[in-house]
A and B are shown apart, each in its own frame.
Chain A
Amino acid sequence: MFYVFRSIKVAFLCAGLATPLAAQILDDLPVPAGEVVLTISGAISITNNEDTAVFDLAMLQAMPVTTFVTTTVWTDGPQEFSGLELADLAAALGIEEGTLRATAINDYAVDIPVSDAVEGGPILAYSQNGAIMSVRDKGPLWIVYPYDSNAAYKSEVVYSQSIWQLDRIEVLK
């Protein structure tokens, strides 16, 4: 329970900071300077690399940060995750409906409905317990739900959607 409260508190704090940035669709997506960690393709209007939107870690970190603490079935003990809320990402890219087909480095792929991307919902975590996640630690990106704060997130479907070592998202109409 303690973690739940803490998670909510942090979420509010971050939401407060993030609001001005998240309020509108990005007009212009800069070209990533560092190594690309995420490629978003499919039905998107905002792109920076042909018909895809690519992000390096710095670009993601520049976007609103959401932090919460939760336990997961794949880790031992409570973990603090920080990252970009999926809802903020969808908003930034003007994605309002459809499905996000998330694919991992090892080509594991899951479909996440855009409707799942809600405030207080899943984040695109790039930091665990304050450290940037390597591939060995399920990095560079891991879709993490706040499992402890919402019992609905303790389902097999959500578990299967909690894809780690994520590097691609295709937006399907």
Chain B
Amino acid sequence: MRRLDLRNAFGRRAVPILAGVLLVAALIIGILGQSVVSDLRLLGAARSDNVQWSLSQTEVEFLELGPVIDQIVEEPAPNPVLLRDLRVKFDVFYSRISTIRKGSLYENLRANPYAASALADLQVFLDDSVPLIDGSDAELHAAAPELIARYDEARPRVRDLSVSGLRVFAVASDERREQVAATLIQLATVTAILLGVLALLALYFIGLSATSERQRRDLEEASSRMRTVIDTALDAVIVADADGRITQFNSAAEVIFGYDAKDAIGEFVGELIVPAHHQAGHAAGMKRMRTSGEKRVVGHGRVQLEARRANGEVFPVELAIQSADTASGEIFIAFLRDISHRVKAEAELVMARDRALAGEKAKAGFLAVMSHEIRTPLNGIMGNLSLLRETRLDERQARFLEDMDLSSRLLLHHVNDVLDISRLDAGKMAIEKVPVNFSSLVQDIVDTQRGAAEAAGNRLELSWLGPPLAWVSTDPVRIGQVLLNLIGNAIKFTDNGRISLECEVLFTRGEEAMTEVRVIDTGIGIPEDDIERIFEDFETRDVSYSRKSGGTGLGLGIARRIVTALGGEMGAESNPGEGSLFWVRFPLVTTQKPNEQFAIRLGVEAPATSVTPRDVLVVEDNPINRAVAREMLQSDGHRVTEAVDGAEGVRLAASHPFDLILMDISMPRMDGRQATAAIRSGLGASRDAPIVVLTANVLPEDVEGFLADGMTDALAKPLDRVALRRILGRTESPRARTLVQSPRSAVGQILDLDQFASAQDSLGQAGIELLLPRFLDEGEELVDWLLGSLAVPTIEQEVRFAIAERAHNSAGSAATFGAAALREALVSLERAAKAEHALDAHIGAIGPIWKATETALRAKLDR
């Protein structure tokens, strides 16, 4: 194509040039031709002959004078006839000489000096003779002899004139002949050039014709190829003119749209394949394009649209339109692909994904609920175990208590593990970045585990290969969790052996130190086949192994997740019978030693045994929970003030400077978050007091929200004495953010006797006797009110809120007294009310459960 263009460009330039040359040549030939014609005319026409005739005539006319004069001389007397003849002949000669002297014809002749001289002499002869000629007849007769003499004198001059004339005109004739010859040669030359140019032009046009013939063939081939491509294309190809009238419709289009090409061609695209509900848009688009030339689809790549088949079916297509300018105006080439299968597949995929996501969400929800559901009764157990330990026990009871305590802590540990997994998998585990002295951290961890190690007869050692790594920015709690897990496992599976921690900075890159910690034991080791398996969830090394402290099989899974979250990796090597090596490798960013106030808090904390007495405000709407908190705090020597809701809490906090505020979240009138914000933003006495949120919502993002509200810390409900003490110890230093968690009770039973016992222990018999009747009255009233609310056909929004609130409140009380089934029913009622689901079934279910619960609890009260 490029060569073709060049040739065309050359052609475009060459044609005018050649045409110009032709024109110039034709002009020259015309001029020369005219010159030749004029020359030929000069040659042919007897211009010079005429002149020569005139000259010879001069001689003739002169010679005619002679005989007349002779006759006059012979006449004795003047003869008028002769004299008149003489006069006429003289005048004729005079006229002749006069003509030669003046006429432009004779310029050349006069230019000849001989001729000029002869002419002058002849003029003298004439001038001298005129007086004689013009005289009277007698005078002329008398002068005849004199005339004879003059005549004879002039005669040679006439001859000279005529001879020199002949010479002059012979020369001129030769010159003209040469001139004509030269002109003819020029003419021939120019004609030859012209012929040459014509020949060149002819060659050029032959070349041009050959090129255009080749182009035509190329075009034909290309167009035939194009036709084949279009006809065999899997996509529908529709070509339309600027008005939207179809000019081409390939076979794929026939198949896809169900029209024959011959029927489709000439129809409007809009009417043929655009679905009815898109036709207005299509027409608007076409109009816009025609008026403003704006193209929203054309040339904008692939777009997804809907199209209509002959049978009226509307289906999704992928469309690409390009426009092209042709001799007959702009055309549009549309490529359409039937993507109904793809769209269907995509929809299925999306549905599958949505189902999977819903499943994930359900799983996360289940885990959160489970943690809540398990922790609540566990709280009862552990809280009451804590209280029980304060009472007087005999040795057997003390041993039972220890076992119970161990079991409940183990259970709590398992629950926490499961929660950790769910958080890590959800990417919701917050990884902190605080300045930590890494070598001190490792040393502290080793120190806390030394006792456990020695208890199993093991030696626990720590060593650094290379210089120890000091200050880094990382999450000490998570690193502690990983190392504790590895050390704990090593202790678990090693008896009377050695456990060594080797730390090493493998390499540094900028501020990043790739650190490896190896935990090496001389324990039972792991078979090679099991090495990978042990990192999987719920895997334990040996199910038959007597578990000293038990294990969910989640420990290593959690550790590996944490290490991955930290940007590191971990692995293990082992020889069964000789021992194992677990290594952890993660990047640590080195940093400067921080100020003293950012003191490091280890993940493992000793229970705060001695805490200075505090002034504590408990804001909790549930009287039983409030009573548990009060009992726990008072027994540790703290002073307790109680508020039944957020509003009262804010009021109390404003008037008295409390050392600590325990704040429930879900409360009537003003919830915990609002109350916290009010206290923090007000000018009250306790505005800067630590506020610890009491929550059953233990998912980390919730905790983050609470902290953002201005809360200092969070304490998982139900309350656990150890966690409470830890919080009390920690709130002396302002920064501490780890959720201290505690367990809760089992579900399903009408009356969970364990939980009831726990409440009995917490509150004392007197407390039970005071609070339980109140709970029973409350319950009676609630159930009546709930059943009453069903009398209205539609339950209004406000009523729903009230139902949710009262159900929530009573559920807390029911949990405390171990009314598990009731609590469960109330919790699902609360959820249904909030979710605006139908409440009839929920409320209907509560009636019988309430009756059974009431009977069971009254039995306890009456006994």
Chain A interface (Cβ within 8 Å of chain B)?
71-76, 105-106, 108, 134-138, 155-156, 159-160, 164-165
Contact = CB atoms under 8 A, between A and B. Distances in A.
Contacts of B57: 108
Nearest to B130: A136
B94 interface: yes
17 contacts: A71-B104, A72-B103, A72-B104, A73-B104, A74-B99, A74-B102, A74-B105, A75-B103, A106-B92, A135-B88, A135-B95, A136-B91, A136-B95, A138-B95, A156-B45, A156-B47, A160-B50
Contact of B50 (A138, A159, A164, A165): A159
Contacts of B47: 156
A106 B89 CA distance: 8
A135 B93 CA distance: 10
Nearest to A71: B104
B98 interface: yes
B90 to A, nearest CB: 9
A72 B102 CA distance: 10
Contacts of A160: 50
A138 B104 contact: no
A105 B88 contact: yes
Contacts of A156: 45-47, 50
A108 B98 CA distance: 18
A106 B62 CA distance: 12
Interface string B223-250: 0000000000000000000000000000
Interface string B40-68: 00000111001000000100010010000
Given A156-B46, A156-B50, A73 B95 contact: no
A169 B514 CA distance: 142
A137 B102 CA distance: 11
Contacts, number: 48
B50 A74 contact: no
A55 B293 CA distance: 95
Contacts of A73: 103-105
B103 A137 contact: no
A77 to B, nearest CB: 9
A121 B91 CA distance: 28
Interface in B70-110: 88-89, 91-92, 94-95, 98-99, 102-105
A105 B99 CA distance: 16
B95 A137 contact: yes
A156 to B, nearest CB: 4
A155 B103 CA distance: 16
A165 B95 contact: yes
Contacts of A134: 91
Most buried by A among B57, B92, B94: B92
Contact of A76 (B50, B89, B103): B103
Contacts of B104: 71-76
Contact of A137 (B50, B64, B98, B105): B98
A170 B532 CA distance: 149
Contacts of A76: 102-104
Interface of B: 45-47, 50, 57, 61, 64, 88-89, 91-92, 94-95, 98-99, 102-105
A105 to B, nearest CB: 6
Contacts of B46: 156
A91 to B, nearest CB: 30
Nearest to A135: B91
A159 B309 CA distance: 97
A168 B706 CA distance: 150
| Secondary structure call for the B interface | helix
A133 B45 CA distance: 29
B56 to A, nearest CB: 12
Given A164-B95, A165-B95, 17 more contacts: A72-B103, A73-B104, A74-B99, A75-B104, A76-B104, A105-B92, A106-B64, A135-B91, A135-B92, A135-B94, A136-B91, A136-B98, A138-B99, A155-B45, A156-B45, A156-B50, A165-B92
Contacts of A75: 102-104
Nearest to B94: A136
Contacts of B89: 106
A164 B105 CA distance: 16
Contacts of B45: 155-156
A28 B757 CA distance: 179
A98 B92 CA distance: 29
B66 to A, nearest CB: 15
A154 B91 CA distance: 27
Contacts of A108: 57
B727 to A, nearest CB: 130
Contacts of A71: 104
A136 B46 CA distance: 25
Closest 6 CB pairs of A and B: A135-B91, A74-B103, A156-B45, A73-B105, A136-B94, A76-B102
B132 to A, nearest CB: 14
B50 to A, nearest CB: 6
A155 B45 CA distance: 8
A161 to B, nearest CB: 12
A105 B86 CA distance: 12
Nearest to B49: A156
A159 B50 CA distance: 9
Contacts of B91: 134-136
Contacts of B94: 135-136
B61 A106 contact: yes
A43 B102 CA distance: 38
A12 B744 CA distance: 143
B577 to A, nearest CB: 139
A134 B102 CA distance: 16
A165 B92 CA distance: 8
B44 to A, nearest CB: 9
Contacts of A136: 91, 94-95, 98
A138 to B, nearest CB: 5
Nearest to B99: A74
Most buried by A among B64, B88, B91, B105: B91
A82 to B, nearest CB: 19
A106 to B, nearest CB: 5
A26 B548 CA distance: 171
Most buried by B among A106, A134, A155, A159: A106
A73 B100 CA distance: 10
Nearest to A134: B91
A74 B98 CA distance: 9
Nearest to A137: B95
B109 to A, nearest CB: 12
A76 B45 CA distance: 22
A75 to B, nearest CB: 6
A106 B95 CA distance: 11
Contacts of A72: 103-104
Nearest to A160: B50
A130 B47 CA distance: 29
A5 B91 CA distance: 34
B95 to A, nearest CB: 5
A7 B64 CA distance: 39
Nearest to B105: A73
A71 B61 CA distance: 26
Nearest to A108: B57
Contacts of A138: 95, 99
A160 B53 CA distance: 11
A56 B722 CA distance: 172
A108 B88 CA distance: 14
A106 B98 CA distance: 16
A74 B91 CA distance: 16
Contacts of B61: 106
A116 B16 CA distance: 49
Nearest to B103: A74
Nearest to B42: A156
A138 B46 CA distance: 22
Contacts of B102: 74-76
A137 B92 CA distance: 9
A131 to B, nearest CB: 14
A74 B104 CA distance: 6
A74 B50 CA distance: 12
